[in-house]
């Protein structure tokens, strides 16, 4: 339901002819997530999140060069969706939780979501302040991409340990 | 302890990288904002990967129980470091059923925290259980790492079969020489009156029946003494057939047979009889006849180890040690009469002159006729074959009683007793 709500929000926020293309991305995301949860396949979760992210990226294409203030909320929503989806899979292990654990987890998730929104706005503010184009931005982007790949490598190595 | 990354790590790393690359390609910093939560979660969560030091120990409130009893388990957990979510699973082997509480729970441990998780289970089936397989799985706060640990602290739990109600036993045809509770057929010193006979030199004065002597005063002035039956014990060999069993779900002929054997052993030993055990099957086990509480525990403990071991080798009674089958012993066979080897072994015992009675644990309640006409025909033929088998034993003077789970053992053994009272032993 959360995925459907986010998908609907993302699709409805797109205007013009791209709305149908957004729907074509968002609908499989919801279906993929629902199927993955039903079949207990955690691999479906990042795929679904990626599709929803692509829907948001499509919306960005229709906008002008001004920064979208809704990005931190989309980030928080997608992260919360991923966490809730993994939580849903964990709950199916048949392990009885002690009282209060769910409430604690909801609290943690809410705190993280608020933190993500704050960090997101901080990042947007930073970008707005130093916004420029050209090789400098490309260099920063390339560094970020290399860092991401390095992070992925580290994560994979730890997964194998 | 094994440390592994949860599926989140790869997923978040992929999503973060994808969003960052998208930001680079599309030149939209908003996509980098989308990558931020996933990348930051990984950056924070992957800092520490040291597994928590969790120690666990458990205790049972008893080491021996009867079928149907409730056993309480307390699992003590101790951790020096906090564990956000610690899942523990106390593996219950088949035959034990969770009664209250949870044997699979998730808890949270703080700094130097101690917790006790209690639950209870019910013993469904007799057996010798080894408990202590405890699986622990811990997760960090962000759920990025999973630590798994298996604790194996062996603790045994003996679950004894629930005894059946049994007041009267099958009386052996012949008693032994030592004192017991069974009235012997031969005359001697005892309590039970047998007959009168003329006084003979050497007879004790207290055995003179003065009333009878007075009635004979006019005939020849002879004294008459009482003759009595002595109380003797008997030798009983419980012959448990473990070649094959019929099973449906958790119930089987072997379960019933073990329960009946344990009950019979207990009751015979309470009468101060000597009881031995022959577990005749793929694996031969035996206990020479003995008396008392020690022998009772020996027999019941041996019964707990009973299982059907498939073996295609032909076995007959010649492999049973001779001292296990003393002369004049009552051999009480508890068998489903499913395997030809045990059937012929019992016939062989009867042919060797042993006093034999058969308690047939009926496999018919575990066999269903089937749907098709052919299946039903086969079922009827099988039932006829079993009837013929019983008739073969009956023709040799062997009482065969069929015990179903819904019948009390007392009533079934009454059939054996009445048969043995009226049917003469056949010449073999």
ipTM: 0.79
SS3 B245: coil
Residues from chain B contacting residue A76 (CB–CB below 8 Å): 37
Question: In the predicted model, what is the mean pLDDT of residues B233-251?
Answer: 87
B82 CB-near residues (< 8 Å, 6+ apart): B52, B108, B109, B110, B111, B113
Q: Do B18 and A119 touch (CB under 8 A)?
A: no
- CB proximity B118 to A under 8 Å: no
pLDDT band at A161 (very low <50, low <70, confident <90, very high): very low
pLDDT band at A134 (very low <50, low <70, confident <90, very high): low
Q: How far is A149 from chain B (nearest CA, A)?
A: 6
Q: Do B9 and A96 touch (CB under 8 A)?
A: no
Interface of B with A in 30-89 (CB under 8 A): 30-43, 46, 49, 85, 87, 89
Which residue has 């392990």 as its token pair? Answer: A95
The number of beta carbons lying within 10 Å of the beta carbon of residue B103 is: 19
Q: Which residue of A has its CA nearest to B12?
A: A46
pLDDT band at B221 (very low <50, low <70, confident <90, very high): low
B157 versus A37: the higher-pLDDT residue is B157
% residues pLDDT > 90 (chain B) = 21
pLDDT band at A85 (very low <50, low <70, confident <90, very high): confident
Q: How far is B12 from chain A (nearest CA, A)?
A: 7
Q: How far is A14 from chain B (nearest CA, A)?
A: 15
| CA diameter of chain B | 140
pLDDT at B51 exceeding the cut of 80: no
**Which of A9-13, A156-160, B4-8 is predicted least confidently?**
A156-160
Q: How far is A20 from chain B (nearest CA, A)?
A: 20
Return the axis-axis angle of helices A135-160 and B29-45, rounded to nearest 10°.
30
Q: Are B77 and B109 in contact (CB under 8 A)?
A: yes
Which of B137, B140, B131 has its CA nearest to residue B149?
B137
How many residues are there in chain B? 428
Nearest to A71 among B24, B30, B87 (CB): B30
Nearest to A145 among B8, B24, B49 (CB): B24
Residues from chain B contacting residue A57 (CB–CB below 8 Å): 22, 26, 28, 31
SS3 B345: helix
Burial A121-157 (b: 16+ CB within 10 A, else e): eebbeebeeeeeeeeebeebbeebbeebeebbeebee
Given this model, what pLDDT does residue A133 score? 60
What mean pLDDT value characterizes chain A? 77
Q: Are B58 and B134 in contact (CB under 8 A)?
A: yes
Name the DSSP class of A25.
H
Which of B309, B281, B251, B236 has its CA nearest to residue B126?
B251
**d(Cα B287, Cα B379) in Å, to the nearest integer?**
37
Which residue has 């929000």 as its token pair? Answer: A9
Q: Which pTM was predicted? A: 0.69
Q: Give the model confidence (pLDDT) of B147-189 as tens digits.
A: 888 887 888 899 998 888 888 888 887 777 777 777 777 777 7
**d(Cα B398, Cα B353) in Å, to the nearest integer?**
11
pLDDT band at B386 (very low <50, low <70, confident <90, very high): very high
Nearest to A119 among B36, B89, B143 (CB): B36
**In angstroms, what CA-CA distances link B424 with A131, B56, B346?**
112, 65, 18
A69 Rama sector, left if φ>0, alpha if ψ -120 to 50, beta otherwise: alpha
Q: Are A7 and A26 in contact (CB under 8 A)?
A: yes
Q: Are A82 and A29 in contact (CB under 8 A)?
A: no
Which of A151, A68, A80 has its CA nearest to residue A115?
A80
Q: Are B36 and A71 in contact (CB under 8 A)?
A: no
- CB proximity B18 to A under 8 Å: yes
Where in B83-124 does DSSP place strands (E)? 83-90, 96-100, 104-109, 113-123
């Amino acid at each position: 339901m959360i995925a459907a709500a986010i998908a609907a929000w993302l699709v409805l926020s797109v205007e013009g002819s791209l709305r149908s293309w957004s729907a074509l991305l968002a609908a499989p995301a919801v279906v993929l997530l629902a199927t993955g949860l039903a079949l207990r396949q955690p691999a479906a979760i990042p795929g679904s999140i990626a599709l929803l992210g692509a829907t948001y990226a499509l919306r960005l294409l229709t906008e002008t060069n001004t920064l979208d203030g809704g990005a931190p909320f989309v980030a928080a929503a997608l992260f919360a969706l991923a966490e809730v989806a993994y939580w849903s899979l964990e709950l199916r292990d048949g392990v009885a939780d002690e009282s209060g654990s769910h409430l604690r987890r909801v609290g943690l998730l809410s705190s993280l979501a608020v933190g993500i929104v704050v960090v997101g706005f901080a990042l947007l503010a930073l970008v707005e302040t130093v916004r420029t184009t050209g090789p400098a931005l490309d260099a920063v982007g390339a560094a970020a991409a290399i860092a991401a790949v390095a992070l992925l490598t580290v994560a994979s190595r730890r997964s194998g340990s | 302890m094994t440390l592994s990354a949860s599926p989140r790590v790869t997923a978040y790393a992929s999503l973060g990288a994808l969003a960052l690359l998208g930001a680079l390609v599309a030149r939209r910093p908003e996509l980098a904002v989308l990558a931020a939560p996933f990348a930051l979660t990984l950056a924070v969560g992957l800092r520490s990967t040291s597994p928590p030091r969790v120690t666990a120990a458990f205790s049972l409130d008893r080491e021996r129980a009867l079928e149907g009893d409730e056993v309480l388990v307390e699992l003590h957990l101790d951790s020096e470091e906090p564990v956000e979510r610690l899942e523990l699973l106390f593996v219950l082997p088949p035959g034990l059923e969770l009664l209250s509480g949870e044997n699979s729970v998730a808890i949270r441990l703080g700094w130097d925290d101690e917790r006790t998780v209690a639950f209870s289970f019910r013993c469904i089936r007799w057996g010798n259980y080894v408990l202590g397989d405890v699986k622990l799985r811990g997760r960090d706060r962000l759920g990025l790492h999973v630590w798994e640990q298996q604790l194996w602290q062996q603790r045994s739990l003996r679950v004894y079969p629930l005894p059946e109600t049994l007041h009267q036993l099958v009386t052996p045809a012949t008693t032994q020489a030592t004192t017991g509770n069974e009235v012997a057929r031969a005359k001697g010193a005892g309590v039970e009156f047998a007959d009168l006979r003329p006084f003979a030199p050497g007879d004790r004065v207290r055995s003179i029946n003065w009333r009878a002597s007075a009635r004979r005063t006019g005939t020849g002035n002879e004294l008459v003494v009482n003759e009595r039956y002595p109380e003797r014990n008997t030798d009983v060999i419980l012959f448990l057939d473990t070649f094959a069993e019929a099973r449906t779900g958790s119930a089987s002929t072997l379960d019933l047979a073990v329960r009946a054997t344990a009950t019979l052993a207990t009751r015979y030993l309470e009468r101060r009889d000597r009881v031995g055990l022959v577990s005749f099957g793929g694996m031969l086990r035996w206990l020479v006849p003995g008396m008392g509480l020690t022998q009772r525990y020996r027999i019941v403990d041996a019964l707990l180890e009973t299982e059907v071991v498939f073996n295609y080798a032909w076995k007959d009674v010649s492999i049973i040690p001779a001292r296990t089958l003393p002369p004049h012993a009552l051999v009480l066979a508890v068998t489903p009469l499913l395997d030809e080897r045990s059937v012929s072994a019992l016939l062989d015992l009867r042919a060797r002159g042993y006093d034999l009675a058969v308690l047939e644990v009926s496999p018919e309640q575990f066999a269903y006729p089937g749907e098709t006409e052919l299946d039903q025909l086969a079922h009827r033929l099988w039932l006829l074959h079993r009837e013929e088998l019983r008739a073969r034993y009956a023709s040799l003077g062997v009482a065969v009683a069929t015990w179903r789970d819904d019948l009390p053992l007392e009533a079934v053994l009454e059939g054996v007793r009445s048969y043995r009272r009226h049917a003469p032993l056949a010449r073999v």
